[in-house]
């Protein structure tokens, strides 16, 4: 019988917690034939990503995954062979006790945040000695050898390339979203936290010689967008034109549709962890808004990723992209940085595809987790 | 109970009923304001060593051990020798000093604390702040007095750390031994 896995997801904010764990759960079930149970304390967050799911149900099955509401008053459940706590969430004490008592033993994993920093490799896979003789292993996703790799489904890159090569498929997908591209328009997607730097970027796009269609899925950035547009409200489907910039608000789409949106665009602004990674698999130039941390720790993480990502770019392109990312994350005027980037556009496109191919050549995170379990046995 | 991030090299925790001395502790920010601490541990009963990771806010039970003030005396390969105020000598292996090795140098006068498990010295803790002299660094950057621009400096024992760009060869600097980070330049 295949091993049973369970993943615990505590939704802190936004959609990263649910997004990453839902992807992982589906992949473990679909590609590795595992019995997978996903515990989530806020099923409503999952429903945004998987509209078929019903937030009111305590238990349901979707895409081969058993989804369980993680209740505040925990009721005893037999632990799975492998227990994954996502992003260091706190497991119920009673469940930890049940894990300690279970025979055969349980593999306990903490799936950590994605970071490009060097120290990650030194911590990946290490045990953490826990009470009652349990060991918990820290599993770090990452971009380098010695880390747990990145979430990537089997055949993803091939599917993406086929889609990008199929103009009709692209047009049909956009049309289904109510989007029709005008001749010569550059297509850009924007998924971001609130950002004071947005106005400067939009002004640069509006004044640009190249027309831009900016697609904005519903989310936290809409308030800044609305202020810049000076409109009373921005509903799904709203469209506004300012100079060379056309802006369209899209609905919040499910994960596979968001992938296609990223694949369609010439440039993607993304945030956090999940959309950041999906934009890399899109093979297109990107702009990352990192999750801000209280003491500025996110800057080291941003620079660590840039150190890796910029390798192989010409000095001018690397400097331009770095300046853009820094301005965006500082919430500063983006105009000059955006303008400086335009000369390097072709190079950035090729580089994004090379980066994607290089990362896709490494084992993916789900496979690495399964291998870790096999080795542990 | 203390959180993992409060433990320093040389301190001992009770983990599953065994005393483990922390030989090295590295703090790193992970994501969303969380952090992890990587520790090198040695079991004081079996001598077995292991590397481990804790969430920074994981709770561990500290074990309070006997301590005695000592100063570094000399190196007698492979042992480091410390001496107390009554001229008693205590030997300790390099591996047990790993967390503070970068600060050990001949002639240092810092009053340290030897930590005992039974009769045996298992670690030595340095003061939170120590003063060391810069043996080498690139020339000072003119005009920068903010202290925010950093550069690499080498200490007399060969250890390297980041210091303010205005520091020069021969300068004395304060170092925080908990983080191994430069604090400020001081007068000799």
Q: Can you give the pLDDT at residue A14?
A: 78
Determine which of B5, B22, B51, B53 to mutate to test the interface with A (most A C-beta atoms within 10 Å): B53
* Distance from C-alpha of B188 to C-alpha of B185, rounded to nearest angstrom: 9
Domain-by-domain residue ranges, chain B? 2-63, 66-125, 129-185
Residue of A nearest to B32 (CA): A293
Can you tell me whether residue B129 is helix, strand or coil? strand
* B129-185 and B66-125 share a CATH fold: yes
CATH 3.40.50.150 assigned to B129-185: no
Distance from CA of B51 to the nearest CA of A (A): 7
Q: Is A273 a residue of the active site?
A: yes
**pLDDT digit string, tens, across residues A181-203:** 999 999 999 999 999 999 999 99
**pLDDT digit string, tens, across residues A124-173:** 999 999 888 899 999 999 999 999 999 999 999 999 999 999 999 999 99
Domain-by-domain residue ranges, chain A? 4-150+362-376, 156-361
* Distance from C-alpha of B16 to C-alpha of B60, rounded to nearest angstrom: 10
Q: Can you give the pLDDT at residue A2?
A: 87
**Is A87 an interface residue toward B (CB < 8 Å)?**
yes
**Is A292 an interface residue toward B (CB < 8 Å)?**
no
What is the fold, at CATH topology level, of the domain defined by A156-361?
Answer: Rossmann fold (3.40.50)
Which stretches in chain A have pLDDT values below 50? none
What is the fold, at CATH topology level, of the domain defined by A4-150+362-376?
Answer: Rossmann fold (3.40.50)
In chain A, residues with a C-beta closer than 8 Å to the C-beta of B33 are 293-294, 297
Lowest mean pLDDT among A284-288, B90-94, B141-145: B141-145
Q: Can you give the pLDDT at residue A36?
A: 98
- Average pLDDT of the residues in B71-91: 94
pLDDT band with cut points at 50, 70 and 90 for residue B147: low
Q: Can you give the pLDDT at residue B119?
A: 84
A133/B58 Cβ within 8 A = no
From the list A115, A126, A295, the residue facing B52 with the nearest CB is A126
Distance from CA of B110 to the nearest CA of A (A): 30
CATH of B2-63 given 3.40.640.10, 1.10.150.120, 1.10.3210.10, 2.30.30.30 = 2.30.30.30
**Is A129 an interface residue toward B (CB < 8 Å)?**
yes
Q: Can you give the pLDDT at residue B145?
A: 64
* pLDDT beyond 70 at B146: no
* Distance from C-alpha of A337 to C-alpha of A323, rounded to nearest angstrom: 6
CATH 3.40.50.720 assigned to B66-125: no
**Is A114 an interface residue toward B (CB < 8 Å)?**
yes
* pLDDT beyond 90 at B140: no
């Amino acid at each position: 019988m295949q091993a049973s896995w369970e993943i615990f997801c505590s939704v802190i904010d936004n959609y990263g917690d649910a997004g990453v764990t839902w992807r992982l759960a589906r992949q473990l079930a679909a590609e590795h034939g595992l019995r997978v149970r996903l515990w989530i304390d806020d099923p409503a967050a999952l429903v945004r990503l998987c509209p078929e799911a019903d937030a009111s149900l305590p238990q349901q099955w979707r895409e081969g995954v058993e989804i369980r509401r993680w209740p505040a008053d925990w009721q005893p459940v037999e632990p799975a062979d492998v227990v994954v706590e996502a992003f260091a969430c706190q497991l119920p004490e009673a469940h930890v006790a049940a894990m300690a008592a279970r025979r055969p033993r349980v593999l306990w994993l903490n799936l950590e945040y994605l970071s490009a920093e060097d120290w990650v490799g030194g911590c990946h896979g290490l045990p953490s000695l826990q009470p009652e003789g349990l060991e918990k292993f820290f599993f770090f996703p990452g971009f380098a050898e010695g880390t747990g790799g990145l979430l990537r489904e089997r055949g993803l890159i091939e599917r993406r390339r086929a889609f990008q090569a199929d103009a009709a498929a692209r047009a049909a997908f956009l049309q289904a979203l109510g989007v029709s591209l005008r001749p010569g328009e550059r297509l850009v997607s924007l998924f971001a936290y609130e950002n004071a730097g947005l106005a400067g970027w939009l002004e640069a796009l509006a004044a640009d010689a190249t027309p831009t269609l900016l697609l904005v899925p519903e989310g936290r950035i809409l308030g800044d967008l609305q202020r810049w547009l000076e409109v009373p409200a921005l509903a799904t489907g709203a469209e506004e034109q300012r100079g060379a910039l056309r802006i369209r608000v899209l609905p919040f789409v499910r994960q596979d549709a968001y992938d296609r949106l990223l694949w369609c665009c010439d440039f993607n602004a993304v945030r956090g962890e999940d959309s950041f990674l999906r934009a890399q698999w899109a093979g297109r130039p990107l702009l990352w808004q990192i999750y801000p941390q209280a003491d500025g720790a996110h800057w080291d993480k941003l620079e660590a990723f840039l150190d890796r990502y910029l390798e192989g770019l010409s000095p001018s392109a690397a400097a331009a992209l770095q300046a853009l990312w820094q301005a965006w994350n500082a919430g500063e005027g983006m105009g000059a940085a955006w303008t400086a980037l335009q000369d390097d556009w072709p190079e950035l496109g090729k580089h994004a595809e090379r980066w994607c191919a290089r990362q896709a050549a490494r084992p993916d995170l789900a496979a690495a987790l399964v291998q870790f379990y096999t080795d542990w046995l | 109970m203390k959180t993992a991030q409060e433990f320093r090299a040389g301190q001992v925790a009770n983990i599953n009923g065994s005393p483990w001395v922390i030989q090295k502790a590295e703090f790193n920010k992970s994501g969303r304001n969380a952090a992890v601490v990587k520790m090198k541990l040695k079991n004081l009963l079996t001598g077995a060593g292991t590397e481990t990771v804790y969430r920074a806010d994981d709770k561990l039970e500290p074990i309070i051990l006997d301590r005695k003030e000592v100063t570094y005396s000399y190196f007698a390969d492979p042992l480091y020798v410390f001496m107390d105020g009554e001229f008693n000598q205590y030997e300790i292996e390099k591996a047990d000093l790993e967390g503070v090795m970068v600060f050990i140098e001949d002639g240092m006068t810092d009053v340290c604390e030897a930590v005992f498990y039974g009769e045996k010295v298992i670690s030595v803790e340095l003061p939170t702040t120590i003063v060391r002299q810069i043996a080498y660094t690139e020339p000072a950057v003119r005009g920068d007095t903010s202290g925010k621009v950093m550069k690499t400096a080498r200490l007399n024992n060969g250890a390297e750390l980041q210091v303010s760009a205005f520091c020069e060869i021969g300068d004395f600097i304060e170092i925080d031994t908990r983080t191994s980070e430069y604090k400020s330049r001081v007068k000799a």
